[in-house]
Amino acid sequence: MPRDRVELVHRIITRAVQTLHFRPAWIAYQKRMDDDGLRYQVARQRDRRVKLGEQVAQFESRMRGMQDQVSAFERGQAAQADRVQAFGNVLTGVTPTVDPLNGQLRDVWTGPGNSYWENGLGTIVNSNASPGVGFHQLQPH
Contact 100, 79 (CB under 8 A): no
Distance of CA 37 to the CA centre of its chain: 39
Kindly report the pTM of this predicted structure.
0.51
Residue 73 and residue 33 share a domain: yes
pLDDT digits 0-9 by tens, 83-94:
999 999 999 999
CB 84, CB 97: distance < 8 Å:
no
For 71-114, how does the pLDDT look when each residue is reduced to its tens digit (9 = 90+)? 999 999 999 999 999 999 999 999 999 999 999 999 999 999 99
Q: Are residues 75 and 132 in the same domain?
A: no
For 130, half-sphere exposure in the C-beta direction (CA atoms, 13 angstrom radius) is 7
Mean pLDDT on 112-141: 93
- Please tell me whether residues 110 and 82 are part of one structural domain: no
Q: Number of folded domains in the chain?
A: 2
Identify whether the C-beta of residue 125 lies closer than 8 Å to the C-beta of residue 117: yes
CB 95 within 8 A of CB 114: no
